[in-house]
Every structure is written in C-alpha cells, then in structure tokens.
Amino acid sequence: MKKILYTALLLVYSTLSFSQVVFDEWFLPKALRIDYFLAGDSQKQNIFLDGLKEEPYWSGSPNSLIDPFNYGSYRVEVKDKETKKLIYTRGFCTLFQEWQTTDEAKVNAKAFEQVTRIPYPKKQVNVEFKARQKDGVFTSLYNFDIDPASIFISREDVVKYPVEQIVNNGKTEQMLDITFIAEGYTQAQMKSFKEDVKRMYDYIITQEPFIRYKDKVNVWAVESPSEQSGPVNPGKNIWHRTPAGTSFYTFGTDRYLTTLKFKSVMDIAANAPGDIVYILVNSTEYGGGGVYNHYNVSTAGHPLSNKVFIHEFGHGLAGLADEYYSSEVAYSEFYPLGVEPWEPNITTLVNFDSKWKSMIESGTPIPTPADDSFKTKIGVFEGGGYVSKGVYRPAFNCRMKSNQATGFCPVCVKAIENAIKYYTE
C-alpha cells in the first residue's frame, strides 16, 4: 500500500512540475552545451567539467521540460538559482556506464567524453548531475552553478557543414527531429549518404508505431565528409580518419560500433536541430550501437542494416533494453537480479506492477512458458538483458531481441509511442 501511495504521489508531483514550467519564462530558444568527463572504474566515478558552450538550436518541445519517465543511468536537473524551482530534467545513459560493467573496469580506470545539452537559461541556474546506484536510486554526483551571461561560456560558431532537410513536417519544437551525421562517406559519396538516410526513414515509417506518427518526424542530414571511406575496424587493421571516430570492436565485441569522441559527434550535430543524433556509417559490415539520449549508430550497407537501424533507434529514443541473451557481450552482471530495471521492456519481477502487467491477458501464467500457445501473446518470458535466467521480456520475439522478429512487440511500441509524444506534444 505504501509503495502504491508513493508512486501515486510521485506521478502527481511530476505532473504538477511539468505543467508549471513555462519555457519562455525560464529559457531562450537555443542550447547550453555542457562538456565534461565521466571518469573512474567499476566501483567509483567522478565528473570533471571541461567547458560550456552556446549552441544555436534547441528543438525540444516547450511542453516537455520535466522528464516524466525516470529512465536512464544518469539524470541532469536544472534549478533556478534564486528560487530553487526545478525547471528542467532529463535522464540519459553513457558508454562509460556500460564500460563500468566490463572486466577491464575491474583493473583499470578510464575517462570518457560526455556532452549534455540543456535549453539556454535566462537566469542563473544550479545544475546537478545524478547517477543511478546499483539499488536503482539516484544520488548526487556533481553540482555547480551557471551564469548564462558568463564570459567563460564559449560563443564560438560551430564548425560549418552543409545541411539538407530530408523530411520537413513542421516546426522543430512540434516534431521529433532526427539529425543524421555522415560517417565514413567521402565528399564524393554525399549523394549516397543522403540516399541512405532517406532509405532508413522510408523503412522506419513502415513500422509500428512510426507508421502512425510519420507526420510528426523531421529528418536532417549533416554532410560531414571523411578523408577515407568507412570506419575504423581494429579486427581488420583498418584505421581510417573519420569526423566522428566510429569503430567496431567496442569493448572487444566485433559488431559493437560506437565512438568515444562524443564531443566531435556533437560538434557536427550542432549544425541542425536534433532531438535524436544518429551516426550513419558507410560500411557493408554488420554493426551498430544505441545509447539512451546519447547517440545512435548503425551501418548503412549491410542486408540487415534497416533492422539494426531501428533496433538501435529503440535504445536511443525510448530507452529500450536488449532482450537477447545468447549473443556475446562484454558486460557482466549488467542487471542486478534483486533490483527492478528502469528499462520499460524488461523485468526481474521485483516490481513488475510498474511494468507491463496491465497489458497481460487474464489466464496468462507469470512467468510465461515459451510454447506455441503463448508465442503470440504478451507475457513474461524468461531471458533478456544478456542473461538467460532471472530477467524477463514481454514477448517471445521482438525487434529488441532478434532480426527475425516482424517488428517491435506491443510493450516496446507503447514505450516508443510515449517517447514520440514527449517530443511532439
């Protein structure tokens, strides 16, 4: 009963906070970029501030300033310094947090580039970064004040790249704006890049729930040319110089394609309005990566690239977890079995009431057997989050589990739909 009451009060608080923040009262229609480093090892972490920068675009909905989802391994909170009023929050994930669960993090310390963008404040604010602990609770990690008039906020122009709007459905503040940046495309291959962007968009709007929201999406293509064609691939001794620095073999996994040069990514992305940054890589290899409210990556030329593209988009846009459990990964104990994961599409059954329980038909057993009588139903199927035992997923198969699935399961569709509405309403 106490848990139900607490949840109800939290929802009321979130709704009230959300409704009381008026964008024009607190912010200007541009972005304040915070560059910093996340550093540490498997047991500890710290933030080291690197710099502040004014950027020309803020494309988020003026009605979506207080994050309603409570997703992510980190959260940024912005308060008016004078009144202490909470005026902006956002959850997100990072590659650093993933790296902390690898064997390397048990013996070495590292620092990862990180960028967080907030709407540009009109008055002095306090910015606090919080980290989700292993028990699922957020605790303070770093806290500092920002004066928006400070001479130490860089106002240097962004490095200019040509930008083409591939899809235009309306004002950026009312749309889900996807900014694609070219990676591994030479100057002579920019036509192919824009064709690849359009091909990915044409695919995604045939899939649920995007097919119902295709008039709510804007697509931008930033033409950032590479000196050489294709990304880095250490396994094949390929060391190309590219603007975003993408590489296969992230954390030693051949298909995991990401970049540690996050500042370079956001330098390029600053050329266009963007709620979601997608690095499209000129390669015929299989690979990609997606990190919630961070960035997304996939190759463009593999036969399964469209399915990898939308899978990674599920991570980056809606915070969906991987539902597979038999593929090789570098992580260990990524989801503590005694804690309910924050991701909307997996559960450890610690607090299943907060997940998709209401979507399950009466008579469906929990956990749900993986036999023919339940394969088309929403249930609680064991296996997900990289492990075969103790973590459960909502469908026998889903785009977050395999390339053989026909699409996202209803639970993932609902989560994506909620994310689209967050950006567009």
| Residue 182's CATH number | 3.40.390.10
Look at residue 267 and give its three-state secondary structure.
helix
Percent of the chain residues past pLDDT 70, beyond the cut = 94
Q: How many independent structural domains does the chain possess?
A: 2
What's the average model confidence in pLDDT over 56-73? 96
Co-location of 145 and 42 in the same domain: yes
Give the pLDDT confidence score for residue 334 in this predicted structure.
86
Same domain for 186 and 52: no
- Rounded to 5 degrees, φ, ψ at 10 are -65, -40
pLDDT in tens, 84-126: 999 999 999 999 999 999 999 999 999 999 999 999 999 999 9
End position of a domain, from candidates 154, 184, 204: 154
Q: Which two tokens stand for residue 317?
A: 């846009």
**Cα R_g (the chain), whole angstroms:** 21
| Residues 183 and 307 placed together within one structural domain of the fold | yes
To which residue do tokens 């969906």 refer? 320
Structure tokens at 189: 């291959």
274-283 average pLDDT score: 98
Is the pLDDT at 246 greater than 60? The verdict is yes
Q: Which domain holds residue 175?
A: 163-323+419-424
End-to-end Cα separation, the chain, in angstroms:
33
342-348 mean pLDDT = 98
* Whether 46 and 102 share a structural domain: yes
Residues 283 and 169 in one domain: yes
As given in the structure block, the two tokens for residue 254 are 């051949």
Q: State residue 10's pLDDT score.
A: 45
150-170, pLDDT tens digit by residue? 999 999 999 999 999 999 999
Task: Judge if 168 and 150 occupy the same domain.
Answer: no
| 148 and 181 part of one domain | no
Residue 414 clears pLDDT 50, i.e. is over it: yes
Mean pLDDT for the stretch of residues 353-370: 96
User: In the structure, what pLDDT confidence band is assigned to residue 333 with cuts at 50, 70 and 90?
Assistant: confident
Average pLDDT in the chain = 94
Does 167 share its domain with 143?
no
Maximal CA-CA distance, the chain:
66
Q: Among 6-20, 25-39, 98-112, 270-284, whose mean pLDDT is lowest? A: 6-20
Taking the C-alpha atoms of residue 118 and residue 90, their distance in angstroms, rounded to an integer, is: 9
Task: Please tell me whether residues 64 and 197 are part of one structural domain.
Answer: no
Segment 21-35 mean pLDDT: 97
* Residue 4 scores a pLDDT above 80: no
Distances (CA, A) of 399 to 146, 315, 355, 379, 411: 42, 11, 18, 16, 11
Question: Count of CB atoms within 10 A of residue 218's CB?
Answer: 23
Secondary-structure percent of the chain, ordered helix, strand, coil, rounded to 5: 25, 30, 45
Do 169 and 264 belong to one domain?
Answer: yes
Percent of the chain with pLDDT over 90: 93
Is pLDDT at 9 greater than 60 in this prediction? no
pLDDT at 8: 41
One domain, residues 313 and 292: yes
Q: Helical H runs in 220-296?
A: 262-269
* pLDDT confidence bin for 332, thresholds 50/70/90: low
Same domain, 128 and 173: no
